[in-house]
Amino acid sequence: MSSWSRIGASASSAIFQAVEPTTPYAGWFSNDVAGEWSGVDLAAQAGVEALPADFYMNGTVHSGVAAPVSAKVGPLKRVKAQKKIYVTMTIGEGDNVQYCQRRMRELWDDPRRGEAPANWTVSPLLADIGPGLLSHYQRTATANDLLVCGPSGAGYTYPGSWPAADVDAYMRLSGEYMRRTGMDLVYAYNHREDDKWVPFSEAIGKAYARYTPVKGIVQSWETGDLLADAVGLRSWSEGSDEWRHAASQGSDERDTATPGMPGMPAWRAG
C-alpha cells in the first residue's frame, strides 16, 4: 500500500484499519518528521508497518532487478567479555529505503569504512523493493561491517502498539525476511506512554524469540536496555537496580543516527 496525500489522522486510521494486518505502508506522513512518532504509532495500532519510501527513486525498476541476496549470517569474532565498558556504533535510519539508496551509500563509500566495527541498520524488505541495493552492501561489507535489521523488523513499527491478535503475524513476517537476508540482530523502537518511551514487554521479547532468528535486540530511545535470557528478553529501566548492576559489570550501548540526503549513486546487480 502506498500513499502520498495530506490527509488527517482520522482518514489515515480508516485506511490502515481497512487493510489486512502486516500490509506495509510505503510512503510517509503528511507532517513529515514531526509526524513520525504519531504516524508510525497510528499505523501500528491497526497492525500496519511503515516503509519510509516517499523519496525512493525508481522503485519499480529496483524491485524488478534480479540480484543475489545472501541468506547466510555473517561470521562474528567472539571475544571473552571482560569487566570494562564496551561501546558499539550502530548507524540508524536503515528502515528508510531512500536512505539506503542514497545517504547510506555515501557513507558506505568512505575509503576508511571498515577500520572500526560498525552496525549498519537496513530494511530486510529491500529483498523485494531493492535487491540490488541489499546485494551490494552484502557483497562489499568488510569483516567490521554488520548489517542489522531494523527498526523494528520487516518494516518500521512499534511492536508494543500492535493489537495483541496481530503482533505475532508481524513477528512471523520479520522472521521470514530476516532469514532471507541473513540477519539475526534487530534494532528496535517502541511506543510512548505519558511522554516516555516504553521498554518492550516480556511478551514482545518472547514473540521475537519464537518467530525470528534474533540473537540480540538493541532497543533505542535510551530509556532501557534489553538482555537475552532463557525465557526470552528481560527489560531494564535506566536507573533500576538491574541497570546499575549491568553498568557496573561493563554493559553499555550507544547508537548513532544519520540523516538522509539526496544523490543518485550507480548500482550494479551482482
CB 93 within 8 A of CB 260: yes
- Please spell the DSSP secondary structure of 107-125, one letter per residue: HHT-TTTTSS-EEEEE-TT
For residue 204, give the nearest of 215, 181, 192, 188 by alpha carbon: 188
Q: What is the pLDDT of residue 3?
A: 61
**Within a domain: 57:** no
Q: What is the pLDDT of residue 238?
A: 43
Q: What is the pLDDT of residue 197?
A: 79
Which residues constitute the domain of residue 195? 65-248
Q: What is the pLDDT of residue 6?
A: 61
Report pLDDT digits (tens) over 88-124: 888 888 899 999 999 999 999 999 999 999 999 999 9
CB 49 within 8 A of CB 156: yes
**Within a domain: 153:** yes
Q: How far apart are CA 227 and CA 200, in angstroms?
A: 11
Q: What is the pLDDT of residue 231?
A: 34
Rounded to two decimals, the pTM is 0.80
Consecutive H or E run containing 247: helix 241-248
Upstream peptide bond of 151 is cis (omega within 30 degrees of 0): yes
Q: How many domains does the chain have?
A: 1
CATH number where 146 lies? 3.20.20.490
Q: What is the pLDDT of residue 110?
A: 95
Q: What is the pLDDT of residue 242?
A: 47
Q: Which residues of the chain have pLDDT under 50?
A: 33, 223-239, 242-244, 246-265, 267
Q: How far apart are CA 48 and CA 175, in angstroms?
A: 16
